[in-house]
Homo-oligomer: A and B are copies of this chain.
């Protein structure tokens, strides 16, 4: 048998990464405790060190596992698409990701706030080209008259900021709205609101077609 999914390696590796994401997301690299990660994973600390030789290695692994599911969206064939549909899809995907996997966003945010010391290469080699590419697509829409003049890069930042806010600032959002948890209804409302304001802001739709009050 070539590979077995229930091999200890595979099983524990995943458990540890998940535990590490939780711990690092809320405490950062320095604040996180190896013992706390081991506890979350339900393993003795020494076992964690068997798979990851030290804290930084584990941190990097947790970070990388998050970066994989980061910008899957905004499909590469977007150039052929029309801006309205593409941006709307992108926004809705990012909102859903923020609500469904806030941990990933929090871990990323913590790293960036601290100055991105372990992600500088990823920013340079992956994210910067990604933004450049998508900005060019947006620019091509503008040039071909499919959408009014706007700064593509700032537009991408705005979409990132607005959507990730619901993941990173979850505690604040819930407190202020007097809620206990997020639910599917709220995903819909935030998606509708965000998509509508931004698309209308870009002049791609008329404002206020189907807004709804939420509280």
Contacts and interface: CB of A to CB of B under 8 A. Distances in A.
Interface of A: 25-33, 106, 109-110, 112-116, 120, 123-124, 127-128, 131, 135, 148-151, 153-155, 157-158, 160-162, 164-166, 168-169, 171-173, 175-178, 189-190, 193-194, 196-203, 206-208, 211-215
A150 B198 CA distance: 13
A90 B160 CA distance: 21
A131 B198 CA distance: 22
Contact of A28 (B28, B161, B166): B28
Given A116-B171, A168-B113, A202-B207, A190 B27 contact: no
Contact of A172 (B112, B154, B193, B213): B112
17 contacts: A26-B113, A27-B114, A28-B30, A30-B30, A106-B113, A112-B168, A112-B171, A123-B176, A150-B208, A151-B213, A153-B176, A154-B190, A154-B194, A154-B214, A155-B197, A157-B166, A158-B165
